[in-house]
Structure 1
Amino acid sequence: MASILRTRAAPFTRSLISANRPGVSNFSRILTRKYTSANPGTGETPPDPSTKSSTNILALVGIGAIVVVGGAFYAFSSNDTTAKSTIQAAKVATNFVPSKTDYQKVYNKIASLLDASEYDDGSYAPVLIRLAWHASGTYDEKTNTGGSNYATMRFAPESLHGANNGLVVARNLMEQVKKEFPWISYGDLWTLAGVAAIQEMQGPKIPWRPGRIDGHEKDVTPDGRLPDAAQGQKHIRDIFYRMGFNDQEIVALIGAHAVGRCHPDRSGFEGPWTFSPTTFTNHFYKLLLEEKWVWRKWSGPKQLEDKKTKSLMMLPADYALVEDKSFKSYVKKYADDENVFFSDFSKAFSKLLELGVPSSQWVTPEPWNMKTLDEQADK
């Protein structure tokens, strides 16, 4: 997500929005949109240790230096994956978990880091969606391996897979959050980052819940499980069907290409999908259907560009959506109605983020809706 489609690391997202969508506050537009359809066109502040909430401190004390699970004792070490995983499991087993309020604080910290004038189009949000997507999209339904549960992208060779090129930017950014909230697992942190990124870019609410644990190097997934943006319909179905998605869900998920851009030094591909790559809308579908797309003449990999402005791009796997009868029916559906797209995307993305996580690990039976910064400010 670096695209949903494996642009060998191209960013998994992109977006275009109408400048006056009903129900979106001016404050939100100022906060999240540096690049809009009306104006086509990161700074990282280390966390202050003194700002840790008392709740966070109590959580750390409660978890303690020694955890008892299944009769075994594990010494806590911030560098020991086994200890980290055991602690997370212990929190679930004993019902000793941070509250929703604590996770909201993590969300807020992530949201505060999104605005970045020196990165891409002024926001880290698209690359964080890609991080959440690529951390979850390795799931194999038949073998029940991969997915977001173990956060295995922390380890080589998965961190070095071509599809994950450039995601070190997102992982390093999230280390700022991890230092302030060390009790959260990487799997929960990365997926919550994707939720925050979508919601703060004026996208739909994404139901989310915690419970993922940090795994080991032995849990690293093999290369080739993420979509290859240079491929067509058969490849797309093979990849997504393996995860348990159908055609409708496939098209909905690829709609995240409404935001972000591809980078030649990561995927080889270049450019944004839409005119406003930091606002989440249905314009990926509209442009796919309404613009005239031609093959770009350049030295890079095969990709399309819009004939009119030559400033936008589509990947071969994107264009495959309008060359396939089943896929195209959903492209038309989402191009016609953004609300329908938002609803379907929300369900599919929430499902994606939970792939590979045993139901016994969830700390709440029903996912939560985390509040955006705007919603909290209004309240």
Structure 2
Amino acid sequence: MSAAAAASRTFLPVFSNTFKRRSLYLFTASATAATAAAAISHQRSKHHQYQNPRNNNNNRGVWGALAAAAPIVHLASAPAGKTKEDYQKVYNAIAEKIREEDEYDNYIGYGPVLVRLSWHVSGTFDKGDNSGGSYAGTYRFKQEETDPSNKGTENAGRFLDSIFKEFPWMSHGDMYTLAGVTAVQEMQGPKIPWRPGRVDLPESAYPGQGRLPDAGQGANYMRHFFDRFGFNDREVVALLGAHALGKTHLKNSGYEGPWGAANNTFTNEFFMNLLNEDWKLEKNDAGNMQWNSSKGYMMLPADMALVQDPNYLKIVKEYANDLDLFFKDYTNAYVKLLENGITFPKDSKPFIFKTLDEQDL
């Protein structure tokens, strides 16, 4: 069997399901309608085989013309007939499992790693060509899961296995991002507006490893890296505030320790610790440099960049003094992160879910 035939057989079930949900991996309107129609016809002639013009050297003709004309567009396509109540049930299932399995990671729980997973599946986005991001759900494939920067997130993936079985109509991109939203809210964080419509695509939609940030870098790197997402300085600082959650693990990241004491509660403690702890730069057991405090907290070099850079520092001080402002800015930046690269219908209204505690009132 040829490589092309094998790929077609491998990808057929996933892409057929994509067509049932009326989603096409299309390009922007700068390409002519006739060219777009020819592209769709080309797809169908290949038995709905997904083809990524950026990754497939054998893909010529129409796809090449489209790729030259405009970046990729990911059209949101939520499952027909599903309402906010259906997604609230998914939220509840995730939240209840977080409560039930609270012994994970020495009783930190699964909340922080679910937030990390939602960040990492979204953090492959590149505004230059609109590739990557949460849309295609490609974390379900080994190539993305085994990106060295994703080490440890497989625990969140396994946590969600039973949720996928309970709600098989959910796409992976929707599940990964909704799990992060659920975790933030259940850990007493802000309300996160969320929209469905991500669609499972084959592994060739994954843009490749190496797109996630290097925690050992400084402010110039951070500013340049987050510009790839279209984030300004305020959004960068707000997003890193989620480092109040969980801890680093030497075996996963090459760093060790928690950022603070309340590591399963969403607060502005990260910013207060940056400003108030007596930090010392030390080499850890993996040979990496990290900042440690006498209380047993740690900061990554990328974290400390927020107080070493004067523009970042001003924002850190704002968030350390104003929890509500941090929550507001984090919400906006996190929603942008989760939705980067996705074209939602104009009438698509986000859902805001009730926490388990709110439903018990």
Query: Which interval holds the TM-score relative to the shorter structure?
Result: 0.7 to 0.9
Aligned equivalent of 1:120: 105
Q: CA offset at residue 267 of structure 1? A: 0.7
Distance 1:370 1:94 in 2: 17
Distance 2:360 2:88 in 1: 14
Q: Secondary structure at the match of 1:97?
A: coil
CA contact (8 A) 2:306 2:316 kept: yes
Distance 2:239 2:203 in 1: 28
2:292 alignment partner, one of 275, 283, 305: 305
CA contact (8 A) 2:76 2:198 kept: no
The answer to whether residue 139 in structure 2 is matched with residue 139 in structure 1 is no
Larger Rg: 2
CA contact (8 A) 2:256 2:284 kept: no
Distance 1:261 1:87 in 2: 41
Distance 2:197 2:325 in 1: 29
CA contact (8 A) 1:128 1:193 kept: yes
Q: Secondary structure at the match of 1:265?
A: helix
Which runs of structure 2 are paired with 1:228-377 in the superposition (5 Å)?
228-300=214-286, 301-306=288-293, 308-309=294-295, 311-360=296-345, 365-377=348-360
Residue type at the aligned position of 1:321: L
Q: CA offset at residue 93 of structure 1? A: 6.6
Distance 2:78 2:175 in 1: 21
Distance 1:208 1:229 in 2: 28
Distance 1:189 1:249 in 2: 24
Bigger relative contact order (CA 8 A; separation at least 6): 1
CA contact (8 A) 1:152 1:221 kept: no
Sequence identity percentage: 47
Change (3 A) 1:221 1:78: closer
Q: Secondary structure at the match of 2:174?
A: helix
Aligned equivalent of 1:189: 175
1:217 alignment partner, one of 203, 208, 223: 203
Change (3 A) 1:371 1:292: same
Q: Provide, for residues 257-305 of structure 1, a one-character-per-residue CA deviation record: whole Å limited to 9, x for no partner.
A: 0101111111111111010100000000000001110023432211011
Q: Secondary structure at the match of 2:105?
A: coil
Distance 1:87 1:127 in 2: 32
The answer to whether residue 192 in structure 2 is matched with residue 206 in structure 1 is yes
Change (3 A) 1:219 1:210: same
Change (3 A) 1:371 1:79: farther
Q: CA offset at residue 95 of structure 1? A: 7.6
Q: Provide, for residues 121-155 of structure 1, a one-character-per-residue CA deviation record: whole Å limited to 9, x for no partner.
A: 42100000001000111110011101110011122
Aligned equivalent of 1:29: none
Gaps spanning 5+ residues in structure 2: where? 1-9, 24-74
Residue type at the aligned position of 2:98: L
Q: CA offset at residue 157 of structure 1? A: 1.9
Q: Provide, for residues 219-277 of structure 1, a one-character-per-residue CA deviation record: whole Å limited to 9, x for no partner.
A: 11222211111111121112110011000000000000010111111111111101010
Aligned length: 298
Q: Provide, for residues 64-112 of structure 1, a one-character-per-residue CA deviation record: whole Å limited to 9, x for no partner.
A: xxxxxxxxxxxxx999321332233369779823111000000000001
Q: Give the TM-score of the pair, scaled to structure 1.
A: 0.75
Distance 1:233 1:297 in 2: 20
Aligned equivalent of 1:85: 18
Aligned equivalent of 1:39: none
CA contact (8 A) 1:270 1:313 kept: yes
Change (3 A) 1:121 1:277: farther
Q: Secondary structure at the match of 1:296?
A: strand
Q: Secondary structure at the match of 2:104?
A: coil
Q: Secondary structure at the match of 2:280?
A: strand
Distance 1:348 1:103 in 2: 22
CA contact (8 A) 1:253 1:349 kept: yes
